[in-house]
Structures are given as structure tokens and as C-alpha cells.
Amino acid sequence: MSFSIAGKTAIVTGAANGVGLAIARHFADQGANVVCADMNEAKLIEEFGENPEACDDSEEKTTRIFAGDLREKLTLANLLSATIDAFDRVDILVNASRQVMTSDPLDVDDKTVSCLLDQNLMTALKLSQLIARRMIQQGEDLPEDSDAPLGSIVNLSSIAATRTQPGLMAFSIAAAALEQMTRALAVALAPHRIRVNAISFGSVMSASLMDTLREDRALRGMIVEGTPLGRIAKATEVAETARFLTSDGSGFMTGQILTVDGGRTLVDAVGAPAH
């Protein structure tokens, strides 16, 4: 059983920060060709450097950056074109671009919900459809009796999809929808030998969480206390799960939501005595 992704070509969205950045770096370290997509071009250049046409060592560079608003249909098409131009094919898609918004549940309106559904659900769906069509096209060159896998898609979800927090109601709705989309798309693409899975995670020590913990010192204790493993996850731990799901080692898994939360969803969040 192999967990290698060396030589495969991956698109990772949300690659300028947090878990998306960790996944893009990890995939590149594991020998994959990686197209790192995000709206924040300056941060992409800071993390990955310029694209090879602006570099002296372009022959050895296996990462590319792509900046644009992935909510736009033309941007998605340009992302695929840039990937094919650079690496001739695409084998992996990781939808890591997402937005988190907090608000009083009584103040949540259609604008808030629509914004999160557009960013966290529809962008992933539209890009998955586009990339899946390309994967199917690539498979046309294989022998008719071939059962070789054509690709893998991984969506990043959240334990908020099943754990209710009033301040995250709109985000929870989008996360739950993303997980159901993952299952539905997995069934639809299974005949084409394309697998679709998701990773549901809790608190991860990203730059944004570190900023939050500096402002709210009590929050770290609350997270750790509510997590059976007694710590906050590293972004690399989610990245390693993403590699597993995109490798041949998970070749018979599709439509699954893998939870990476240190056991947090296994315990009762309500502070009531056991009885």
C-alpha cells in the first residue's frame, strides 16, 4: 500500500494561509507538482516565490502560484488552463479555500448565508465539476479495460457541520452542505474512478488562531479542556490526512468525512454532571 503522491499534479485552493498553505507545502515536499491558488497574490509570492518564468531555477520548480477570485467562473477556467500549461494534467484537487464568519443567530440574514454558501460550497462544487471533467478527459487515453484511478478530490470541512455553536450558525450551514455535496459527488463520479472525500477538523494552530489566542487567553484552555487528546492540532496533521486521501493507500475510500479533531466531537460539550 502506497501513500506516495510523488509525480502527481495537485491544485490546492486557499494556499496562501492556514491549512491550505500547510497542504500545499506538504504536497510539494512529497514530490507532487502543486498549483497554489488564492486571492492573496502577495502572500502567495511571499510563501512560494514568483512563478518560474520570473525565476532563474524554473526547470526545478514544481510549484506554481495562481491569484484570483475563485468565485468567478472565468477565474476557475483560467486556473485549470494555467495548471495544464504548467504540468499537462491534473490528478488532485484540494478545496481548502473557505471563509468563517461569526454573528448572533438572530441577526443572520440571507446575505450572510449566501456569502458563506457561495465561498465555502459553490466555489468548491464548481471547481470540482470543472476538474472532474478534465480528469475524465485524461482517462480517455487509457485502455478500455483499465481500472486505473483518474483522480481524487478532497474538501475541507469543519466539525461545526455537526456541532452546534450559535455564533457559527451560517458557517455550520455551509459546512453541512459541503459534506453532503461531498457524498453526492462521490457517488456521481465513482463510475469515472474519481474519488471525493472530505476532512472535518476542529481547532488548528494557524496564524489566525494564534492571533485570537493572544487576544483571548482563556480560549486556549477551553479548547484543550474540551479535546480528549489535550492539545490543539498542527496544520501539518490535516495536511498529512489530505495526502492519505489523495494517495493510492486510500484507493477504496470515497464519500467519507474523516474527522481530525483529537476526539473533540466524542465528548459532550455541555458542562453538566454525568448521571
Q: What is the CATH number of the domain that holds 150?
A: 3.40.50.720
Share of the chain above pLDDT 70, in %: 93
**Which residue segment(s) compose the domain that 194 sits in?**
9-203+238-259
Single pTM value for the model: 0.92
**Residue 264 falls inside a structural domain:** no
**Residue 81 falls inside a structural domain:** yes
**Residue 147 falls inside a structural domain:** yes
For 91, phi and psi rounded to 5 degrees? -115, -25
**Residue 269 falls inside a structural domain:** no
**Alpha-carbon gap, residue 198 to 185, rounded angstroms:** 11
Three-state DSSP string of the chain: CCCCCCCCEEEEECCCCHHHHHHHHHHHHCCCEEEEEECCHHHHHHHHCCCHHHCCCHHHCCEEEEECCCCCHHHHHHHHHHHHHHHCCCCEEEECCCCCCCCCHHHCCHHHHHHHHHHHHHHHHHHHHHHHHHHHHHHCCCCCCCCCCCEEEEEEEEHHHCCCCHHHHHHHHHHHHHHHHHHHHHHHHHHHCEEEEEEEECCECCHHHHHHHHHCHHHHHHHHHCCCCCCCECHHHHHHHHHHHHCHHHCCCCCCEEEECCCHHHCCCCCCCCC
**Residue 172 falls inside a structural domain:** yes
pLDDT at res. 268: 66
Q: List all residues 6 or more positions away from 242 whose beta carbon is below 8 Å from its beta carbon.
A: 23, 26, 27, 94, 154, 199
Taking 70 as the threshold, does the pLDDT of residue 272 lie above it?
Answer: no
pLDDT at res. 155: 98
* pLDDT tens, residue by residue, 234-256: 999 999 999 999 999 999 999 99
* pLDDT tens, residue by residue, 169-206: 889 999 999 999 999 999 999 999 999 999 999 889 88
Share of the chain above pLDDT 90, in %: 72
Number of domains in the chain: 1
- Of 36-45, 69-78, 87-96, 139-148, the one with minimum mean pLDDT is 139-148
Task: Tell me which residue of 139, 250, 117, 145 sits closest to 189, measured CA to CA.
Answer: 139
**Residue 226 falls inside a structural domain:** no
**Residue 271 falls inside a structural domain:** no
pLDDT at res. 273: 43
Band of pLDDT at residue 269, cut at 50, 70 and 90: low
**Residue 37 falls inside a structural domain:** yes
* pLDDT tens, residue by residue, 46-99: 999 988 664 455 456 799 999 999 999 999 999 999 999 999 999 999 999 988
- Of 139-143, 154-158, 271-275, the one with minimum mean pLDDT is 271-275
Q: Which residue has the higher pLDDT, 205 or 104?
A: 205
Q: How far is CA 22 from the centre of its chain?
A: 10
Band of pLDDT at residue 215, cut at 50, 70 and 90: confident
Mean pLDDT estimate for the chain = 91
- In this structure, are residues 153 and 185 in contact, taking their beta carbons and an 8 Å threshold? yes
